[in-house]
Amino acid sequence: MIPTDFLPPALGPQRTFALVAGVERYDISHRWNLRGPARDALRFAHWLTGPAQVPPGNLRLLLSPLDEPEALDWPDAPAMAALRTAYRPATEENVKAALLDELPQCDGDLLWIFWAGHGYLGPRQELMLPCADARPSQIRHLNLDSALRWWRTDLVKHRSFPLQAALVDSCRVDAPRDARWNFGSTDYGGGSSVPGRRQFRLYASREGEAAQNDAERGAGRFTEALLAELGGRSVRESVSGLPVAARSIHRTFRELRDRGEGWQLPQFLVDRDWDACSFLDDDLAAVALPRAARLDQQAWDGLGALFEGRELPRCAYEAYAWAFKAAGCTTPVGGGLPGDGLLDVVQDLDERQGGHGGMPLAVPFVRFLADRAGTAGDAAWAGRLKDWVDTTRERLALPVLPPPPPPARTAVVHVGLEPPPDGGPGFRARMWLRGERTEHIWESQGAPVRLETVREELLRQLALIGAAPTDGGGAGPRAPGGVDRIEFHVPYELLDTDFDQWPVPRGPAGRHRALGLLHQVVVRCPQERADTRAEWHTSWRWLCTRGGRHPEAVRVVEEAEVTDVLGMELAERPAPACVLAHTTSTPHAGLLEAVLEGGVPVAVWRRGGGAPPPPLLDLLAPAGPDGRPDPGALDVLALPARVREVRRAAAGAAADGQCPPGEDQLVLLWDDPDDIPDSRSLA
């Protein structure tokens, strides 16, 4: 705690002013909305006007809640009742009016700035806090660093506000370098600096880190810890005790990390105390981070040789996530790899270091790659990777690593159909079974066969494999767990065929079930990818390196967007990797042509066209904090299983009379370029 004679003699509630802002709803997109900041702002305002006894007229309260303002939990107090009629929306105009026009004209000793909402770092690492009226064309925001520089100048009354405290419950992640993220350039300028003004900053996250928010409770973890520290303190007690409170918050978040409930340590940045010195300097031992060993030059030299010319393997994100688990840490917020190359990923892991057990994160990452390389048949590279792990562990005296989890075992039947060369009726058909290895299990002979013949043969093969009942004998099961997925490799004209509705004998009394209820059923059209093979592979690789989840991975296409240029638009970037069709006409009217031209590997539509009620995003994606479906949380790599769940739910509802038959008519295009058993002609 700083000496009380450090404080202005007249400092008290009457000479304390504050800007308090909580932003939950943003004009830019419903995906930005989050629940909690408005409640956090109200609770901080309640502390100011309650235990701190600051007059409500000294506060500028800005709120943009997710729900109606009347639905907020307003504290029952006269001061809060006054603020309830005086608050304003958290728009850029209101923020600038309050912070740069109104408050500087007041005569006070202490300024509080409390902000809860989103936060991004600009190119110069300035903290940009988006306002409620942020739009794609212009993300209106408060540049906090520029505003705090402005508050240190003589544009504020010369003898006013010697103490200024900024408390920010937001992320501090880099703003994407994307033309659609137009923050513009905001600098409020300023006059000459005034000696003696002191600023205290306390952030909920360090640079590059995300702040945790509890959507169910409507509270930020940082604000929870902050208010617990402030408790019933007065203005003078709270100001003099801020460094001590920050240390306590630091310990709280360190305990969260030790319990495995948070990766970041701390999940906030304590910047400086009132003397502009790091108040952690006098007690470094008490707050020292548990450091793991870092890679030495010999390890880096070895990785340089191992990774030269290697693209990111398909398992790279799995390896990245497992490295944190193996080292006793939680995977960082926001899925996806931190770079586009193996060395970039290892550099990120090395900078983060590891858990309290002393294991550098890079070592389990390489160990996982070695395990998967061996499974994939690249024994030479797997051996070199394991040698690097062994020698690095021995040289750095690292603990023993647990074995990586084995790859998920799946059994997939591929059904290939090709029209005959003479253009006549029927199809040439072939089937493969891919499990631990891939084997050719059947091929049509002689004249082309009808789809009914293909169906009968598929059922026979499923019975032989051990995935479907059979009336006769036959060989024993070749896939102990049964067939997980059936993939139909078909000509473009068959993409909308109802393969998932093929009846399968099931149970007594001649009962049948649809194929798509018993197995994951997808369609594929790899032969149409010849002209966009590079885009197709790039998009799939992009999806895999982000663990199947990313805000830009999924795009919902409406009827009006299906134009002649949609395919070229989809081909411009790796994202999206999945298209959900919300169109009223059949996909053959242009949507599927655009998907294939754009190299998009995954698409979902309703068979026969018709905008699905409810929209596909509502069916497939989990709800976000605002209760709406969140495309960024949709695991595209798990869509085959998710579509089967939707089919089963729709079939059950139809059986109960709760929805009309046919609501399960979803088609999933699933073109994994790394899993094509045989591309040779069936001739």
Q: What is the pLDDT of residue 299?
A: 92
Give CA–CA dist 90/479, Å, rounded. 59
Span between the terminal Cα atoms of the chain, in Å: 84
pTM: 0.61
Q: Copy the structure tokens of residue 646.
A: 């939707």
| Average pLDDT of the residues in 187-192 | 84
Give CA–CA dist 21/63, Å, rounded. 6
Per the model's pLDDT, the better-predicted residue between 140 and 157 turns out to be 140
The whole-chain average pLDDT of the chain stands at 84
pLDDT of 342 strictly over 70: yes
Q: What is the 3-state secondary structure (H, E, C) of 585-636?
A: CCHHHCHHHHHHHCCCCEEEEECCCCCCCCCHHHHHCCECCCCCECHHHCCH
| Average pLDDT of the residues in 91-119 | 95
Q: For residue 159, what pLDDT band results from cuts at 50, 70 and 90?
A: confident
Q: What is the pLDDT of residue 190?
A: 81
Q: What does the pLDDT look like over 630-651, one tens digit per residue?
A: 787 889 999 999 999 999 988 8
Q: What is the pLDDT of residue 283?
A: 44
Q: Copy the structure tokens of residue 440.
A: 């050719």
| Average pLDDT of the residues in 347-366 | 80
374-383, long-range: CB within 8 Å, 24+ apart, which pairs? 375/406, 375/407, 381/306
Give the sign of the dihedral formed by CA 481, CA 483, CA 485, CA 487. positive
pLDDT of 112 strictly over 90: yes
Q: What is the pLDDT of residue 623?
A: 72
Q: What does the pLDDT look like over 513-544, one tens digit per residue?
A: 999 999 999 999 998 998 999 999 999 999 98
pLDDT of 54 strictly over 90: yes
What is the total residue count of the chain?
Answer: 683
Backbone φ, ψ for residue 20 (5° rounding):
-125, 120
Q: Which helix (H) or strand (E) holds 654?
A: helix 639-655
Nearest to 675 by CA among 381, 410, 385, 326: 410
Q: For residue 133, what pLDDT band results from cuts at 50, 70 and 90?
A: very high
Exposed, middle or buried, 629 (CB in 10 Å: 0-12/13-18/19+)?
buried
pLDDT of 288 strictly over 50: no
Give CA–CA dist 515/498, Å, rounded. 10
pLDDT of 106 strictly over 60: yes
pLDDT of 43 strictly over 50: yes
* Most confident stretch, 154-158, 267-271, 589-593: 589-593
| Average pLDDT of the residues in 53-75 | 91
Q: What is the pLDDT of residue 380?
A: 95
Q: What does the pLDDT look like over 390-421, one tens digit per residue?
A: 999 999 888 888 899 988 888 999 999 999 98
Per the model's pLDDT, the better-predicted residue between 681 and 209 turns out to be 209
Per the model's pLDDT, the better-predicted residue between 7 and 112 turns out to be 112
Q: For residue 375, what pLDDT band results from cuts at 50, 70 and 90?
A: confident
Q: For residue 556, what pLDDT band results from cuts at 50, 70 and 90?
A: very high
pLDDT of 123 strictly over 90: no
Q: What is the pLDDT of residue 335?
A: 61
pLDDT of 5 strictly over 80: no
Q: What does the pLDDT look like over 290-333, one tens digit per residue?
A: 456 778 899 999 999 999 989 888 889 899 989 988 887 766 65
